[in-house]
Amino acid sequence: MIKALIVDDSAVMRQHIKHVLEADSGIQVIGMSENGLDAVNFVQENKPDIVTMDINMPKMNGHEATRRIMETTPVPIVIVTASYEKNDVEKSFLAMEAGALAIVEKPFGLGHAGYDSTAKDLVDTVKIMAEVKVIRRWPAKRISQITETQENGVPRIDVFRAHCGLIAIGASTGGPPVLQTILAGLGKKLPVPVVVVQHISKGFVDGLIDWLKLSTGLDIHAASHNERLQPGHVYFAPDDCHMGVRSDGRLQLSKEPPENGLRPSVSYLFRSALTAYSTNVVAVLLTGMGKDGAEELKLLKDIGAVTIAQDKESSVVYGMPGEAVRLDAASYVLTPEKISHALVSFAAQATRRTDA
């Protein structure tokens, strides 16, 4: 039985979230707090398995409460918010930086057309995150050149095998802080474009982009249809659209049916990269539930492209990268820091080869 704490300043919303969670027989709500300070104290005294955390609250907001909990009595935290205001969304991602694992939309009321989907999203996220036994965070630090030999048995990175005209990244559950680490290490002068599909609740991708801009200093955008890819820029798939790349160096957005139940889909992105860039792409599959992108990563590896999967120890959920490893789809299995270092070296070597 998963024991949950609900934190929200609205009594009505606390009861609504309680109803949604306890509709699943595997979840028991053991407490409800109306502000972040009470939540910090409750967690210290009762040690719930998971916390659902609002952002805007009196006495202590959700960002500060998350930081305090992670410093004193770490437990999995899911940010649950209804606000799309820029400052509030930014606070939500700051809470993720402080250690929260996911962000979801507050469930709509009973009778609303969106109730079933938003309630399911909350319940599924709570059940998955409650299984995370160790909260892992990775500081954003940059080392410009990977070493020839890696620690802990990680294989040597052969930068000379890479033909890197594009970096394609797919991520799901637990992805935002990992993306922050990887992107922060790339630097503003990366000579190739980066395209990213991050599975995230509808309405939050723009907030994710704003947060990553502030924390990495990179040029990061939501992709536009037919937009030309520029070196050093990072493009995220927008809400409810597949994103692909074309051989003319432009982006393709599509409303084609979901793949693996998802739109945007990592599989769609990787398949387009295979068609448009062939071996001239480095593809990366990060933490996340499910199998999105794993088969396409295998196809890329089979034609000679460099492929990378995040390692199990640093993954919040080892579904997507784990499936890639099972399929022998990854040329390398690395931590987020080493992924960043490898991408910098691959891109730099490809540029030196082109200049020569």
Q: Which DSSP letter does residue 237 get?
A: P
Q: In this predicted structure, what is the pLDDT of residue 351?
A: 57
Phi/psi at 103 (5° precision):
-135, 130
Q: Highest mean pLDDT: which of 29-33, 153-157, 343-347?
A: 29-33
Q: Average the pLDDT over each of 93-97, 229-233, 256-260, 341-345 and give the range with the smallest value.
A: 93-97
199 included as an active-site residue: yes
pLDDT at 162 over 70: no
pLDDT of 154: 42
264 preceded by cis ω (within 30°)? Answer: yes
Give the per-residue pLDDT at 123.
97
Q: What domains are there in the chain, each with its CATH number?
A: 2-129 (3.40.50.2300), 159-355 (3.40.50.180)
17: tokens are 């979230």
Plot region of 99 (φ>0 → left; ψ -120 to 50 → alpha; else → beta): left
Strands 251-254 and 242-245 come out as antiparallel
Question: Pick the catalytic residue: 38, 54, 292, 311?
Answer: 292
Can you tell me the distance from the alpha carbon of 339 to that of 261, in angstroms, rounded to the nearest whole number?
27
Q: Is 112 a catalytic residue?
A: no
pLDDT at 103 over 60: yes
* Phi, psi for residue 268 in degrees, rounded to 5: -60, -45
DSSP state of 114: T
Taking the model in full, what pTM does it have? 0.86
Is 275's pLDDT higher than 80? yes
Contact 220, 193 (CB under 8 A): no
Secondary structure letter of residue 317 according to DSSP: S
260 conformational bin, left if phi > 0, alpha if psi -120 to 50, beta if neither: left
* Count of beta carbons in the 10 Å neighbourhood of residue 1: 9
| 57 contact partners, CB below 8 Å, separation of at least 6 | 7, 8, 9, 34, 35, 36, 65
Q: Taking the CB of residue 231, how many other CB atoms lie within 10 A of it?
A: 15
Measure the CA angle with vertex 310, ends 192 and 305; round to 5°.
Answer: 45
Quote the strand ranges of the chain, DSSP E.
2-7, 27-33, 50-53, 77-81, 102-105, 167-171, 194-198, 219-222, 233-236, 242-245, 251-254, 282-285, 306-310, 332-334
pLDDT-based confidence at residue 196 (cuts at 50, 70, 90)? very high
User: Does residue 314 carry a catalytic annotation?
Assistant: no
CA-wise closest residue to 285 among 247, 304, 262, 311: 311
Strand partners, 3: 28
β-bridge partners, 338: none
- Catalytic residue (choose from 172, 215, 265, 345): 172
At 261-271, the pLDDT tens digits run 999 999 999 99
Arithmetic mean of pLDDT, 75-104 = 84
- Least reliable range by pLDDT among 1-5, 213-217, 329-333: 213-217
pLDDT at residue 230 is higher than 80:
yes
Given a contact cutoff of 8 angstroms between Cβ atoms, the answer to whether 16 and 118 are in contact is no
Catalytic residue among 16, 63, 199, 341: 199
Q: Which amino acid is at 240?
A: D
The encoded tokens of residue 96 equal: 């993720």
Question: What residues have CB less than 8 Å from 151, skipping those under 6 apart?
Answer: none
Considering only residues 333 and 164, tell me which one the structure prediction assigns the higher pLDDT: 333
As given in the structure block, the two tokens for residue 145 are 């050149």
